[in-house]
Structure 1
Amino acid sequence: MSTYLHGTSQINDKGHLTIGGCDLTDLAKEYGTPLYIVDEAFVRQRAREFVEAFRATGLKFQVAYASKAFSVMAMCAIAEQENLSLDVVSDGELYTALQAGFPVERIHFHGNNKTPEEINMAIDAGIGCFVVDNFVEMSLLNALAADKGKTVNVLLRITPGVEAHTHDFISTGQQDSKFGFDLGNGTAFRAIEETLKLGNLNLLGVHSHIGSQIFEVDGFGMAVDKVAKFAVKVRDELGKTFSVINVGGGFGIRYVEGDSPLPLSTYVNAIADAIISNFTAANYPTPEIWIEPGRSMVGDAGTTLYTIGTHKEIPGVRKYIAVDGGMTDNPRPALYGSKYEAVLANRANAANEETVTVAGKACESGDMLIWDLELPKSESGDLLAVFCTGAYNYAMASNYNRIRRPAVVFVKDGEASLVVKRETLEDIVVNDVIPQRLRKASV
């Protein structure tokens, strides 16, 4: 079996995997599979590590949970309790936060194509800040705020020209990106000029994000250096001093052996040191630092539990085992080629005997969860626990093939709490409508 146990994961005297003191075989019986399981204590530990690391720097800060990674009301409640702010990127995520009673002044609204309806909803709610992504949004936001007689806080998202060492699809700080105002070609400076002319936008500063699943700090240092030079140019030429610098997120986690994430405090200290050194050298008031961890807050706190069904062996080629989920509850392997580790939750101490490839049940040849996984000899009915599925799994789940989305449970101190119900067959068709003309008898 894999030796990768993390958070509160343990193996009990029955040889069963437990998380948060809950036996996964019991969870399967009570809630069914597939099942998303979130280690609540681990999430809270991660939140506190970020907050405590920043407090130790003595700087003003906000740690904003990037809810795109995993947005449910229960997670918003934890974010509030752990003194986090919250990033949203749609009316759905905003509505989730509002329904959870999250403090609106700590909500930041991101996105490269916010609709007028979303902007109006956010203005009416009184959120703390908009992260403006382009000139069209800038003008629209100012006009909608003016219509309501309000002034809204904004950060301008800039692309600093720093490419993170990550997958092309999740690298966002380079010049050729759909996000933000480019720093290198002068667009970002022009955006600052335009923002300062608009009467209903209050410019706090700038935002940059260099990518995701990052295992080094050099990229953050380079980005802060460029942002600081830009801040000085804006101050000297336009007389505007930034009070906030948002350096985004992207802090990596361990999915499989070979991934080498740094301690969270190492990322925080590197960012803080870069801010202090660059802005002090420029005789510039040290701005408040904002960061946006998502994956690093919840990614490795999540586990997905499946039931193994069929097997197929191609002699001399490969053995497939199929589970009752797949790309509908975890599209990342199909999208990014993402890799995962897994164990048999009901026989976690058993010795590995074979190499298998884990296939999903969707009607796609590309629906593969894990290639070449070492496992004990598995049988139909065994439970497969796939680690590190807390981020961008439930959030990206779909009803492809009209497969129902799984339930989500939080586990802590031996107690499992249902936070998202499993979809029913009735849920699958609840929004379907048959027009009357299709109800008529055929001629």
Structure 2
Amino acid sequence: MTRMSIAALKQQVARPDVVEMHDVTSKDPLLLVALKSTRNSVPVPRHWCFKRKYLQGKRGIEKPPFDLPEFIKKTGIMEMRQALAEKEEAKNMKAKMREKVRPKMGKIDIDYQKLHDAFFKWQTKPRMTIHGDLYYEGKEFETRLKEKKPGDFSDDLRTALGMPVGANCNKIPPPWLIAMQRYGPPPSYPNLKIAGLNAPIPDGCSFGYHAGGWGKPPVDEHGKPLYGDVFGVQGKDFDAPSADEEVERTLWGELESESEESESEEESEEEEAEGVEESGLVTPAEGLITPSGVTSIPAGLETPEMIELRKRKVESEMEGGETPALYQVLPERRNERVGAAMMASTHTYELPGRRPAAGAGGEGVEVALDPSELDLVDTDAMAQRYEERIRETQLEKEDLSDMVAEHAAKQKNKRKRQQQQQDDKKSKKYKEFKF
């Protein structure tokens, strides 16, 4: 009484197609169906609920022997093994016992190039199953429909239908052609071309109900084909391209010069301006009025008619034949001392428009003053404070340069020790080696 019915379960889930009759017996049927309908989920094999044991139906079926792949057969290993087996059978008992005591190696010797080509050039990928594709009993005997194509006849099918097999087998129509001419082509394959129905019949064949005849072509009361070009008169018209189509042969990837681009832009701007003037669009007088006291554009900031983005000076120089100065060589100045910076450079460049500040070495000196000392700016105390600051800066530079030199010396000694240790290890390695 408390168990949910199958109909009620199918109504409550999003995927009712995965519901099975035994799902209602679980503790939580809704969770079970949700797990079964999850993407990339693999179902439980169906034989869990079968009364018969797994693969018991294959008893008595002879299992085919293992067959080597085609790319391994090309190496000739099968012929070599067969010849070796025949040679072994021809030996007497004394030779076999002697072979057991002192076996000979290298009997099957295949060329290395053949083995390399077999596994790296001709190797084919084995047939594999996709994710979630489970094996069930009798699956290998099913027909793989992906390898079949509608309209193609195999030799077995032709033999079963009583149709000839050979070079001129396509001259005989299939037995269902008469019914298709009467009732129409199969609706599952609307684009399938069937000779005698919506495609012309082979050369040398004729319509009719005699032996080897292709029936009666399906036409309407005016003699026009019903399902396609059954007489083969429209093929040339359909295949030939229409002469009205003009193909543009100009190069589409060619770059335009700047002068042509500017001319095309000016022409497009003039065409747009003319189009706006000729269109006759009038600003609406009512309904779209700016509220009082609010202006969208402040005075003096009107939008210009044309904004020039190119450098006219460079273009004029290029048109005049003069090469514009694209760069400027900066004068280089060597520094004798490294200075206060940790990673300072030994040379600097003088930038135009910048002058070195006054002070020691052409550098400015920063002097901190309290608000109460602002009246000392033009006095001797200010000069004394300035000289003290310069002396402190020089002492800091000397101390920092000493620290940099000491650090560089330490790093040099460290690298020297490491290199020496590596050389000792190499020499020790070669000393210990004995042939």
Q: TM-score, with normalisation over the residues of structure 2? A: 0.15
Higher relative contact order (CA 8 A, sep 6+): 1
Structure showing greater radius of gyration is: 2
Q: TM-score, with normalisation over the residues of structure 1? A: 0.15
User: Which structure is higher in helix share?
Assistant: 2
